[in-house]
Amino acid sequence: MTQDIVFFLDVDNTLLDNDRVIHDLRQHLERTFGRASAERYWALFEQLRSELGYADYLGALQLYRMDELGDAQSDPRLLEMSTFLIDYPFAERLYAGALGVIERLQTFGTTVVLTDGDVVFQPRKVQRSGLWRAVDGRVLIYLHKERMLRPMQERFPAQHYVMVDDKLRILAAMKQGLGARLTTVFVRQGHYATDPNNIAHYPQADMSLDCIGDLLAIDLPTLLGQKSTSRSKQESP
């Protein structure tokens, strides 16, 4: 059945403070393995991300284990490292108001978690954070969500879509594909959203917010652009 409105909500640095997760992981690595080994892990992580196009924390850990430079294959602490990732308290890293925003948007239409990531760690993050339950299991996880507009629409057909994300690149690509049927909402949270170079290279979203909690005070006509508004500091006089 075709819905009137479907709200797609990104996870990392949109609903959940993933920068804080990375900070905690970085500290844990340095405490456990030392700074040099930790930096080696992050070098492998960035290498893998450039190859895959998404963050793969467990994949980078596997590369680290196989890395003969670190002689890490026989280190039993690697088992503790994987446990740290899998059992991380993601619910404590939700942004203020994130669950309230989901609840409010569900009074307007259907909410769907839409995120990029691997097939193991990203679902675990969505589940342990409580987001999976909050959207009643309506979760889509792709390698590159902006390239999956057709299956997204087939899974959740709607007259209009709203995409909430911290990456202008993603929003711009989806807007190009869906045009006027999509309202893009840019949330200025996390290092991607506050990087001037990222902001300069892509067109502005239909709406810009300083934090995800700002959606708690926005009504549906405003959200769909039927009223003129701006809550972005960047756009303030």
Quickly state the pLDDT bin for 37 (edges 50, 70, 90): confident
What pLDDT is stored for residue 53 in this prediction?
Answer: 81
Query: What integer pLDDT is reported at residue 80 of this predicted model?
Result: 73
Question: Which distant-in-sequence residues (6+ apart) come within 8 Å of 140 by Cβ?
Answer: 8, 112, 113, 114, 115, 148, 152, 155
Query: Which domains are delineated in the chain?
Result: 3-16+94-231 (3.40.50.1000), 19-86 (1.10.286.50)
Is the backbone of residue 97 left (phi > 0), alpha (psi -120 to 50) or beta? Answer: left
Predicted structure pTM score:
0.89
Provide the pLDDT confidence category of residue 155 given band limits of 50, 70 and 90.
very high
Q: Which amino acid is at 13?
A: N
Give me the pLDDT at residue 145, please. Answer: 94
State the Cα–Cα distance between residues 8 and 191, nearest whole angstrom: 21
- pLDDT tens digit sequence for 170-222: 999 999 999 999 999 999 999 989 988 888 889 999 999 999 999 999 999 99
pLDDT at 74 over 60: no
Cα distance between residue 94 and residue 66, in whole Å: 33
CA-based nearest residue to 9, from 96, 172, 138: 138
Query: pLDDT confidence of 62, banded at 50, 70, 90?
Result: confident
